[in-house]
Amino acid sequence: MRCCCLLFILLAVFAFVQIRLRQERDSLNFPKKFHLQYKLNATNKREEKQSIKVNVTAEKVAYGNVKSKVENNIISLSNAFAVSFSFRITGAPLTFQTVQIESDQSVVFSNTVLLNNEGFANAHGSHEFYYLNPSCFFTHYTTGGISSSNEKVTSLEGIVTIKNIEYMVENAIDSKWVPL
C-alpha cells in the first residue's frame, strides 16, 4: 500500500512538472496579447474633394506591453495587428464623407457615409495587417454631396482600437482538400 502511495505521488509530481514546462514553452512561442486605443480628431475648413490626415491626440494601453510609435499621425508597431475604428463625422447635411485607412501610400480600407439631414453620421471599419512592422494612418475626405450648403467645416472624432492578431503562422499552411 505504501509503495502505491509513493508511486502515485511520484507520478503526480512528474505530471505537474511536465505541465509547467509545457506552459513555459507555449508562452515563448505565442505573441503576447496587447490592446491599444487612440483618440483621433480632425476639424478644419477645407475645400471639397480635399483630404486631410486625421490627428492622433491621445493613447491608452488597455493591457499588454507593446512598443508603439506615433510620428506625424502615423501609427507604427513591430507586431502584426488588427485595427478597427469608430468615428462620428459632422458637417454640411447630405454630403458624402470618406474615411480611409492607409499604409505605405496605399488605401487598405475605405468607408464612405452620407451625412443625414442634421449633419452627422457614424463610420466604422477594420483591417488586419498580417506582416511585421506595419504602419497605418487615417485620412478624411469630403467628396461633395446633394446639398447646396456653403458650410465647408467638417469635423471627425473617434476611437481607434489596435489588437494583436491571435495567431500568426510563420510557415506556409499546406493542407489537402478533403472531398465531402
Neighbours of 119 (CB within 10 A): 17
Least confident of 77-86, 131-140, 161-170: 161-170
This prediction has a pTM of: 0.71
- Domains of the chain by range and CATH? 33-164 (2.60.120.40)
Rounded CA-CA distance 95/142 in Å is 8
* Cβ(65)–Cβ(32) below 8 Å: yes
Is-contact 47 132, C-beta < 8 A? Answer: no
Contact (Cβ atoms closer than 8 angstroms) between residue 139 and residue 50: no
Least confident of 7-16, 27-36, 52-61, 84-93: 27-36
85 neighbors 126 (Cβ within 8 angstroms)? yes
96 Cβ neighbours under 8 A, 6+ residues apart? 112, 113, 114, 115, 142, 143, 144, 145
pLDDT confidence bin for 79, thresholds 50/70/90 = confident
The residue behind cell 507593446 is 66
Which grid cell is 39? 483618440
Give me the amino acid identity at 47.
Answer: E
* Per-residue pLDDT tens over the stretch 115-154: 998 989 999 999 998 888 889 999 988 877 776 555 567 8
Other Cβ atoms less than 10 A from the Cβ of 134: the count is 20
Query: What is the DSSP code (8-state) at residue 47?
Result: -
What are the tens digits of pLDDT across the range 14-25? 888 888 888 777
Task: Name the percent of the chain lying above pLDDT 70.
Answer: 81
In DSSP terms, which residues pair with 127 in a beta bridge? 83
Q: Residue 130 is which amino acid?
A: Y
The alpha-helical segments, DSSP class H, found in 55-109 are none
Does residue 12 have a pLDDT over 50? Answer: yes
Q: pLDDT by residue (tens digit) across 31-50? A: 678 888 899 988 766 666 67
